[in-house]
Amino acid sequence: MPLSEKPILVTGGSGLIGSALISALNVMGREDIIVTDLLGTDQRWKNLVPLRFSDYLEADQLLSVLESTRLRDVGTIFHLGACSATTETDASYLIRNNFEYTRLLAEWALQGQRRFVYASSAATYGDGSQGMEDGEDGIERYRPLNMYGYSKHLFDLHAKKRGWLSHITGLKYFNVYGPGEAHKGDMRSVVHKAYGQIKDTGTVQLFRSEHPDYADGGQMRDFFYVKDAVDATIHLAATPGAPGLFNLGSGMASTWIELVTPLFQELGLPVNIQFVGLPAALRGKYQYYTCADISRLRSTGWTGPHFTLDSAVRDYVSQHLIQGH
C-alpha cells in the first residue's frame, strides 16, 4: 500500500534516520515534505543539502504552529526528532524533549486522524534480562539503563495507558548506523569511528569485556543498516493495520569483531584491533547483548533486511565514507 497522498511531516529530518528517510521518499517521487529539526551549530545541515522538500522550520517552532495553514494538510508524521545521547544526564531536558514534545505531537496527529509513526528505542529494554519483546503486553517490566531510554519508555507507557497504541506506531530501533551520522560526535556508530581510526593509525579500538560470558570484542549487538531501517519505517507507515510497538533490527546479533572486520577488508588492510577499558560512565549501564525479534515486523509483510552485516558495512565504506559522503 502507498503512503497517504497528503503532505508528510518529518521531525529530526537532518539526522541519520531522518535524512535517509527523506532521501528514500524523494526516490519514491515525494517532495511534499515538511522538515523540522534543531540545526544548531554542528554540521548536520549538510545532510539536508541534497534532499528535496517543500518547507523547513526549526523544531522549537513546530508545536506553536500545529494549527496553522502551514501544517493543516499533513497526512503522515514521521516523528524521529529526539535527544538520542545515551550519556545525557539532564533528565528534565530529556523529559521535555523526548516525552512531552512527543505527547503533544501525537495528540495533534490523533485529533486530525493523521498517521503517526514515532521513534521509540531498543534502549527501553535495559539490559535485556526482562526480554526484548515488542508489542505492548508487559512493557511495564522493562528497566532502561539510562535516562534517554527511560524518556522513550515513558512515552510508550503513556501511549499504552491512553489507548493510543491501537492507532499509532512506535519503532524500537536497534543499533542503526550508516551515512548521515558524521555530526553525532561520540554517538556516531563504531563503523564511522573505526573508519577514521583505521585511516589514521591502521588499527581500531574496541572495549574490553567486563562480563565473564563475553570475550573482548565478543559483546553482541543487532546492527541495523540505515537503508534497511528506512525501508522498514516506510513499510509500516504505509501498511494498514500495523499500529503498536515494533522492533526494527536485522534480527541477528553480531560481535564487534564481526562488525569491524569487513571494514578492514574493504580498505585492503589486515585486521588490527586494540582493546581498551570501558569508560567509567558506561560501567553498569553497558548492554552486552541485543537482538531484535522482528517476527511482528515480518508478519506485516516486510521482506528485509536486504543487507547482510558484511554487505552493509562494505556499502557504507565504499559508497559513502571513502567518497566523503
* Helices assigned H by DSSP within the chain: 16-27, 59-62, 91-94, 101-111, 147-162, 190-201, 226-237, 256-266, 295-299, 309-316
Grid coordinates representing 22 are 527523506
Angle between helices 16-27 and 226-237 (to 10 degrees): 60
Q: What pLDDT does residue 280 have?
A: 86
| Structure confidence by residue, pLDDT tens digits, 119-134 | 999 999 988 889 899 9
| Structure confidence by residue, pLDDT tens digits, 21-41 | 999 999 999 999 999 999 988
| Structure confidence by residue, pLDDT tens digits, 32-70 | 999 999 998 889 999 999 999 999 999 999 999 999 999
pLDDT band at 325 (very low <50, low <70, confident <90, very high): low
For residues 201-210, average pLDDT: 95
DSSP string, 95-120: IIIIIIHHHHHHHHHHHTT-EEEEE-
For residues 261-278, average pLDDT: 96
Is 8-175+225-248+291-303 assigned to CATH 3.40.50.720? yes
Our answer to whether residue 184 is catalytic in this structure is yes
Q: What pLDDT does residue 89 have?
A: 83
Residue 319 and residue 325 in contact, taking contact as beta carbons nearer than 8 Å: yes
| Structure confidence by residue, pLDDT tens digits, 2-25 | 788 999 999 999 999 999 999 999
Question: What rounded mean pLDDT belongs to the chain?
Answer: 94
What count of Cα atoms within 13 Å lies in the side-chain half-sphere of residue 20? Answer: 23
Q: Is the pLDDT of residue 278 over 70?
A: yes
Residue 283 or residue 253, greater confidence: 253
CA 108, CA 113: separation in Å to the nearest integer? 9
Among 6, 46, 56, 184, the one annotated catalytic: 184
Q: What pLDDT does residue 1 have?
A: 54
Cβ-based neighbours of 2, under 8 Å, separated by 6 or more: 238
CA 268, CA 72: separation in Å to the nearest integer? 53
* pTM (predicted TM-score): 0.94
Share of the chain above pLDDT 70, in %: 99
Peptide bond into 7 cis (omega under 30): no
pLDDT band at 88 (very low <50, low <70, confident <90, very high): confident
Residue 181 and residue 129 in contact, taking contact as beta carbons nearer than 8 Å: no
Residue 43, number of CB atoms within 10 A of its CB: 11
Task: Give Cα 313 distance to the centre of its chain.
Answer: 17
DSSP string, 220-258: EE-EEEHHHHHHHHHHHHTSTT--EEEEES-S--EEHHH
Among 101, 125, 142, 148, the one annotated catalytic: 148
Q: What are phi and psi of 79, to 5 degrees?
A: -95, 95
CA 293, CA 222: separation in Å to the nearest integer? 10
Residue 228 and residue 177 in contact, taking contact as beta carbons nearer than 8 Å: no
Our answer to whether residue 150 is catalytic in this structure is no
pLDDT band at 251 (very low <50, low <70, confident <90, very high): very high
For residues 77-85, average pLDDT: 90
For residues 147-171, average pLDDT: 96
